[in-house]
Amino acid sequence: MAVATQSLEELCINSIRFLAIDAVEKANSGHPGLPMGAAPMSFVLWNRFMRINPKNPGWHNRDRFILSAGHGSMLQYALLYLSGYEGMTIEDLKQFRQWESKTPGHPEDFMTEGVEVTTGPLGQGISNAVGIAAAEAHFAARFNKPDLSIFNHYTYVIASDGDMMEGVASEACSLAGHWGLGKLIVLYDDNKISLDGDTDMSFTEDVGKRFEAYGWHVTAVEDGNTDLEAIAQAIEESKGVTDKPSLIKVRTTIGYGSPNKANSHDSHGAALGADEVKATRDQLGWQYEPFEVPEDALNHWRKAVERGAKLEDEWNQLYGKYKEQYPEEAATLEQMWSKKLPEGWDKCLPTYTPDDKGDATRNHSGKCLNAIAEVVPQLIGGSADLSTSNKTLLKSSGNFQKGSYEHRNLWFGVREHGMAAICNGLATHGGLIPYCATFLTFTDYMRGSMRLSNLARAGVIYVMTHDSIALGEDGPTHQSVEHFASLRAIPEIVVMRPADGNETSGAYKAAVENRRGPTVIGLSRQNLPNLAGSSIEGTQKGAYILSDSEGTPDIILMGTGSETQLCVKAAEELRNQGKKVRVVSMPSWELFNRQDEQYRESVLPKAVKKRISVEAGITFGWHRYVGDEGIAIGIDRFGASAPGNVCLEKFGFTVDNVLAKAKQLLG
């Protein structure tokens, strides 16, 4: 029996293992194998390296820890509990995977203090970490002073085989290598087992060599189960490499300690079962009750509290000096941290009258971004290799690159999914408002991360141009049809589709102020007129009356984005024919739905049943607004390659078609 010889370190490591085993067993659901295998590296990392303060999980310069392999969530909950985070008690651990507990199936940053990002969908955490490390590099380059390195933290990741297989991680890690993010250190839990069995079935590439190809520093620990010094040495070595991110391949045994299920997918995704739990207790010489942590181990772990207090205290003194010597920078920084925007920031947003020359909303967007960058220091972002088309370049800033991290223009390359995941990381780090851009259609590529922006409330601004068939010649592969519908379907999201210059400014006002989640702004490739009655204020309500006739309208025409002008023109014609017509501009369903009943009724009175919507996209979902008797004008098929104006005409986005449909309703 190992009992007598169990060292304090072994006790500490086994504490993680058995908290995970016991919690999964109690829930009869979860993944014990990863925590059991990754316990040693986690112990070494948290015990010897992590600069955190358990009593203040929000300390700005804390090291970040990301469990990219989020299915091993009990590892993270055990670490938080053992390290003395007040938000994580033994009772919380017993509530693993139960309704409204702080210990959900996968780590969720909005449920649990100390969890930096929401992980679980594989590849996301490691990609978020690239964003977090980029944010650290940016803050350090922008704010640190000689001898006053107020930003100086590491971003540590534990990642799994699954993370390594996902394309989003490939994209983000390639970019991390390009950027040379030296403070990003990934421990790859190389256990050669995935849910389906041995990775020999599908994953035999040389991961280390791949990361070297990305420009990473790669090292390995041959025995990650017991060789704690080798783990420590690898982390130390990685910290010494300051111009490259580091990957440490740690060879481990999934389900380590389980006599019959270790090194097998049997320990991956299900409770071990009572018999095997007992056998594991025997094998590891664990004489404690479920959820019992030996006092020695707990005392040792809890030294993190004292260490953390000291670390933050030292930093506070450093920051005190900084504030004294650089009050202006400190003021900027504190404003950025506060999540508040500079007073009156929105005065920078341009406004237009119908006499102003029309323009594409993507151009209006470019002006907004540049104006905002001048007054909102948080703004940072870029495009997935379409900056010229997306109009996303900030003229007042240089390029964020290795050696020039202080700049705010990011170049993501053709890596949409990685871009969105990195932006989630930038948003999560604190102090930044990231934006990213591509054609609207390619939201399909990054939806995995966009969903997490919503779930984890990351305030990313998605600048999505070329938002319909009107993009023209590139054809159906590039033309959005279903994308507004499919994005509106995501819970919590705000989708904006501005009709002109004022509404584009309005969309940015909403997006910049929406710090509880992402905002998607759909923008036209083609020029659009500035409409009478459009406004920043109206846009905040999601839908508003652009023009009206006296009395109860005979018909309501509602449009979004580039098609709103068709409603305006059709209304003029109908009014000439003596009809009472209301035109409603509807840049955002979601903002409109948040208005009170009275406002919604004032814009779309229930009594007016004759309604037409016009949007160059699928009609899916419009029924809610046009009702049983209304007509939705849209395109319920894929687009086609032809000049944009030809596409619009062929697919019925014309004033004549709106008039024809109105006639159909009005008789």
Report 306-335 residues binding a copy of itself (CB under 8 A): none
Stretch that binds a copy of itself, among 239-247, 274-282, 345-353, 489-497 (CB under 8 A): 489-497
Interface with a copy of itself, residue 166, by CB under 8 A: yes
Compute the C-alpha angle 457/459/460, nearest 5°: 120
Tokens describing residue 87:
């938000």
Q: Choose which of 623, 656, 663, 664 interacts with a copy of itself (CB under 8 A).
A: 623
For residue 406, state whether it binds a copy of itself (rule: CB under 8 A).
Answer: no
* Distance between CA atoms of residues 365 and 526, nearest Å: 13
The torsion angles phi and psi of 399, rounded to 5 degrees, stand at -105, 130
Residue 511 C-beta: closest distance to a copy of itself, Å:
21
Nearer to a copy of itself, 60 or 106 (CB): 106
The answer to whether the Cα torsion of 577, 582, 587, 590 is positive or negative is negative
| Helices H / strands E in the chain, number of each | 25, 20
Question: Which of positions 429-468 make contact with a copy of itself (CB under 8 A)?
Answer: 441-442, 444-445, 447-448, 451-452, 454-455
Closest separation in Å from C-beta 201 to a copy of itself: 5
Q: Which stretch binds a copy of itself (CB under 8 A): 15-23, 46-54, 308-316, 490-498?
A: 490-498
637 is a site residue for a copy of itself (CB under 8 A): yes
What sections of 292-409 are H helices per DSSP? 295-325, 327-337, 361-375, 387-390
If one asks whether residue 526 binds a copy of itself (CB under 8 A), the answer comes out as: no
Q: Decide: 569 and 543 in contact? Cβ < 8 Å.
A: no
CA distance 8 to 295: 10
- Out of 329, 627, 652, 657, name the contact with a copy of itself by CB under 8 A: 627
Q: Binders of a copy of itself: how many residues, by CB under 8 A?
A: 109
CA 13 to chain centre: 32
Q: How far is Cα 497 from Cα 633, in angstroms, rounded to an integer? A: 16
CB 128 within 8 A of CB 64: no
20 vs 512 by CB, closer to a copy of itself: 20
Q: Does 492 bind a copy of itself (CB under 8 A)?
A: yes
By DSSP bridging, strand 197-198 and strand 193-194 are: antiparallel
Three-state SS at 46: helix
Indicate whether 482 belongs to the interface with a copy of itself (CB under 8 A): yes
Whether residue 191 contacts residue 145, with contact meaning beta carbons closer than 8 Å, is answered with: no
- Which lies closer to a copy of itself via its Cβ, residue 225 or residue 363? 363
C-alpha 365/C-alpha 357 separation (Å) is: 15
Q: What's CA 84's distance to the chain center, in Å?
A: 28
Q: Rule CB under 8 A: say whether 613 interacts with a copy of itself.
A: no
> Dihedral (C-alpha) 381, 384, 385, 387: value to the nearest 10 degrees?
-40
Shortest distance in whole angstroms from residue 613 CB to a copy of itself = 13
Please report whether residue 655 would count as binding a copy of itself according to CB under 8 A: no
416 noted as active-site residue: yes
Exactly one of 10, 108, 116, 416 is catalytic; which is it? 416
| Contacts (CB under 8 A) with a copy of itself, residues 206-235 | 206-210, 212-215
Nearer to a copy of itself by Cβ, of 194 and 267: the residue is: 194
Distance CA 446, CA 486 (A): 13
Nearer to a copy of itself, 344 or 491 (CB): 491
* Range 356-395, binding a copy of itself (CB under 8 A): 383, 385-389
Candidate list 203, 288, 319, 326; residue touching a copy of itself; CB under 8 A? 203
- Residues 143-162 as x/- pattern, contact with a copy of itself by CB under 8 A: ------------------xx
- Listing from the earlier edge strand, what are the strands of the sheet with 519-522? 409-411, 379-383, 433-439, 461-465, 519-522, 494-496
Q: Where are the alpha helices (DSSP H) in 469-563?
A: 483-488, 501-513, 536-540
Q: Is 628 in the site for a copy of itself (CB under 8 A)?
A: yes
Site for a copy of itself in 106-135 (CB under 8 A): 106, 108, 118-123
Considering beta carbons, is residue 9 or 474 the nearer one to a copy of itself?
Answer: 474
Q: Is 541 left (phi over 0), alpha (psi -120 to 50) or beta?
A: alpha
Per CB under 8 A, the list member of 19, 371, 618, 633 interacting with a copy of itself is 618
Binding mask 45-84 for a copy of itself (x = CB under 8 A): -------------------------xx-------------
Active site residues: 416
